[in-house]
Chain A
Amino acid sequence: SYVLTQPPSVSVAPGQTARITCGGNNIGSKSVHWYQQKPGQAPVLVVYDDSDRPSGIPERFSGSNSGNTATLTISRVEAGDEADYYCQVWDSSSDHRGVFGGGTKLTVL
């Protein structure tokens, strides 16, 4: 089965840039989607298809994907960005199934 690996935590000062990685075997050949989850709330889609943003998501959120690593980049980080972030792909190699990374806790210092 396909495995996605995320760092458990990332810390960044306000106004700086946060980069959250998602590792997977040849993940660059897949489309990666990212979700933000604040405590007690449902996840919210912030990036889909590697780098597209749903309406209402600030331009500060961007994504890239190449080789074995996908990256969610949050520019000019704000206190309100503190949350858990999950990457997700669709694995069509055998059974069709959704796969999530383990999640990364973003702390704004």
Chain B
Amino acid sequence: QVQLQESGPGLVKPSETLSLTCTVSGGSISSYYWSWIRQPAGKGLEWIGRIYTSGSTNYNPSLKSRVTMSVDTSKNQFSLKLSSVTAADTAVYYCARVRESHAGGMWTYYFDYWGQGTLVTVSS
């Protein structure tokens, strides 16, 4: 059974960089896409981006200028950096495994395993 665990500081100061790591256990990180998704308190889910184990990335256009994702296959980990954070970046951050499907003749992607989530608060 694949398990994901987020780790990183729970408190980040405004204008600084948020850094989180997701450790994957129970399976190899290779040959999958991996995503970060966040959820402000009382609000919905927001996709942040995805990374393939080759290092190829796609980011949410609304966050693209501030997001960097990386992967370390030797440690079965992938990471998120979000720069110049403000209070609006306060949220529970989830990491998730991305599954691809070729249903209906087109590629689609969904999230089959999720971490438990980690709360990151941006405050001075």
Contacts and interface: CB of A to CB of B under 8 A. Distances in A.
Interface of A: 1, 29-31, 33, 35, 41-45, 48-50, 54, 86, 88-90, 92, 95-103
B109 A98 contact: yes
Interface size class of B (residues with CB under 8 A): 20 to 34
Contacts of B99: 48
Contact of A96 (B44, B45, B46, B58): B58
A89 B108 contact: yes
Nearest to B99: A48
A90 B107 CA distance: 8
Given A31-B101, A50-B103, A86-B45, A97 B58 contact: yes
A64 to B, nearest CB: 13
Among B47, B101, B104, B111, the one with the most A-chain Cβ atoms within 10 Å of its Cβ is B111
Contact of A31 (B47, B103, B111, B112): B103
11 contacts: A31-B104, A31-B110, A41-B116, A42-B115, A42-B116, A49-B108, A89-B108, A90-B108, A95-B58, A98-B37, A98-B109
A92 B107 CA distance: 9
A96 B64 CA distance: 12
B115 A97 contact: no
Contacts of A30: 106, 108
A6 to B, nearest CB: 9
Contacts of A89: 108
Contacts of B117: 42
B114 A97 contact: no
Contacts of B79: none
